[in-house]
Amino acid sequence: MFSLTSSHRYFMFSKPTDMRKSFDGLCGIVSEKLNRHATNGDVFVFFNKRRDRLKLLHWETGGFVLYYKRLEKGVFLLPESNGENLPLAWSQLVMIIEGFQLKNMERSPRYTPKNTVKKVS
């Protein structure tokens, strides 16, 4: 079943990506540039140079799923990355997709049990 939730880990590739890349090309970026395994269940987020297109690469049981969104107007407003690849929280990804700017937004502290701590910027 196609589904992404807050239980997944999300990683944004900070450099513009050629949106002609499909499964194999994006998997190459994941392994070579992000130093991660594309089949570990994480979700990898890619944007094009104009920031009007987005691809999400995700491994589910049995194969890859590729989500693709093209904006007809406007751009995705990305958090500052200083050239680094960023981990994203589900809420941050949703806000980027919905057009919110994360630059001046701060997240209020929330309780997280010690055995499930996720470091998210």
- pLDDT for res 32: 94
> What is the Cα–Cα distance from 27 to 15, expressed in whole angstroms?
15
* Per-residue tens of pLDDT for the chain, all 121 residues: 568 899 999 999 999 999 999 999 999 999 999 999 999 999 999 999 999 999 999 999 889 999 999 999 999 998 887 777 889 989 899 999 998 887 766 667 778 777 655 555 4
Q: Are 54 and 46 in contact (CB under 8 A)?
A: yes
> What pairs with residue 12 in β-bridges?
45, 86
Q: In whole angstroms, give the CA distance from residue 32 to residue 50.
A: 23
Q: Which residues pair with 53 in a beta bridge?
A: 70
Handedness of CA 56, 59, 61, 64 (dihedral sign): positive
What is the CB neighbour count within 10 angstroms for residue 55? 20
Closest C-alpha among 61, 56, 43, 45 to residue 1:
61
CB environment 28-41: b (16+ within 10 A), e (fewer): ebbeeebeeebeee
